[in-house]
Amino acid sequence: MEKVKYATILSNMGACSDRFCAGGYSAPVSVEEMFERAASIKKLQGIELVTTWHITPGTKEKVKELLRQSNLSLVSIIPDHFGESKWGKGAFSAKDKGIRREAAELTKEFMDIAAYLGGDVVSLWPGQDGYDYYFTADYIKERTWFEEGVAECCAHRKDVKVAIEYKIKEPRVRSYPSTVASTLLMVKEIGAENCGVTIDYGHAAVAYENVAESVAILKKYGDKLFHMHMNDNYAYWDDDMIVGSVHTIPYIELLYWLKKTGYKGYISMDQYPYRENGRDAVEESIGWLDSMYTVLERIPEEEVAALYESGDSVAATRMIRKYLFNL
């Protein structure tokens, strides 16, 4: 098997809260402890950090040391544009000019810190960039602000990629970068070589995307897949469950297209283990991915090619069955 690089967002190692249980479903876990837990997962190679939660400008040296101790690479930094009340009405697309400025400055600062930590990706998750009610948002102006802000960050330094992670809703009821295509429109408008897209499996699935197709679309229109987040859900909401706990076949086709399109980045877990041991939940996701990669390796390329040529649905289903169950 081609070498797959697994990673996780650091918070997957800790406690989760929700709007009803704001105090958390389990006791808080320190950053150091989360690093230790991550380090104990055998196949894990990389870490993503959320600012405010895991890293601030003042702790970058300490984090560098924690990465070194854990023998983990810095995969990306996710600037906190969503977790403090000031971002509640948007970051890059906020109506408040000062907030928009702050969103860009924060991003640029952490592009530098990412580079300092040996990373080359900043993954933007604009969860608050959107709106909730009718007649409250100027859809054109606010998308334009978003694009201008991200463009400024991309221009800050070319050696760090800026990847926009889309999601159709939550926390805003409607988001601006909502689907793979909606986000690509922005990326094309921004027009920077280091501007691309992060796909989150669950976000895409909730938007009724077949994630394999989303990967293909990013390939077709500019080779813009910069990063991948993995998890699973029941198709209606971003449940952030263990990879493979609900869906099997769509994942196998997704892994196929990642390979076919030459994706070289990390396969990174982004879960919310509300009631689970987060470390074990990530380890289990890696177990599923490994098993699904094994199935993929059994499938001769010419069989897939023949199916894409014929479009024979019965034959496609039979092929998956054959290699999934190793018949």
Of 38 and 316, nearer to a second copy (C-beta) is 316
- Tell me how far, at minimum, the Cβ of 61 lies from a second copy, in Å: 26
Residue whose tokens read 């805003």: 172
Within residues 217-236, the interface with a second copy by CB under 8 A covers 217, 219-221, 234-236
Q: Which stretch binds a second copy (CB under 8 A): 101-109, 113-121, 151-159, 178-186?
A: 178-186
Query: Using CB under 8 A, which of 57, 69, 88, 300 touches a second copy?
Result: 88
If binding is defined by CB under 8 A, does position 274 make contact with a second copy?
yes
Q: Which stretch binds a second copy (CB under 8 A): 41-49, 66-74, 99-107, 290-298?
A: 290-298
Q: Is 44 helix (H, G, I), strand (E, B) or coil?
A: strand
- Tell me how far, at minimum, the Cβ of 281 lies from a second copy, in Å: 6
- Tell me how far, at minimum, the Cβ of 265 lies from a second copy, in Å: 19
Distance CA 228, CA 246 (A): 18
Within residues 196-215, the interface with a second copy by CB under 8 A covers 207-208, 210, 212-213
Main-chain dihedrals φ then ψ at residue 173, nearest 5 degrees: -70, -25
If binding is defined by CB under 8 A, does position 85 make contact with a second copy?
yes
Q: Which stretch binds a second copy (CB under 8 A): 33-41, 103-111, 191-199, 308-316?
A: 308-316
Of 184 and 267, nearer to a second copy (C-beta) is 184
| Residue 210, both tokens | 């077949």
Q: Which of 139, 119, 117, 4 is nearest to 62 (CA)?
A: 117
CB 205 within 8 A of CB 233: yes
CB 102 within 8 A of CB 93: no
Distance CA 47, CA 11 (A): 10
Q: Which stretch binds a second copy (CB under 8 A): 21-29, 30-38, 152-160, 190-198?
A: 21-29
Strand 174-175 and strand 130-131: the pairing is antiparallel
Residues 94, 96, 97, 100, Cα dihedral to 10° = -30
Q: Which residues pair with 6 in a beta bridge?
A: 44, 267
Query: Using CB under 8 A, which of 34, 99, 114, 137 touches a second copy?
Result: 137
Distance CA 187, CA 199 (A): 14
Q: Which of 302, 301, 299 is nearest to 318 (CA)?
A: 299
Of 117 and 295, nearer to a second copy (C-beta) is 295
Q: How many residues bind a second copy (CB under 8 A)?
A: 108
Within residues 251-270, the interface with a second copy by CB under 8 A covers 252-253, 256-257
Query: Using CB under 8 A, which of 9, 78, 122, 295 touches a second copy?
Result: 295
Query: Using CB under 8 A, which of 4, 115, 155, 185 touches a second copy?
Result: 185
Q: How does DSSP classify residue 166?
A: P
What does the longest C-alpha to C-alpha distance in the chain come to? 61
Within residues 26-45, the interface with a second copy by CB under 8 A covers 26
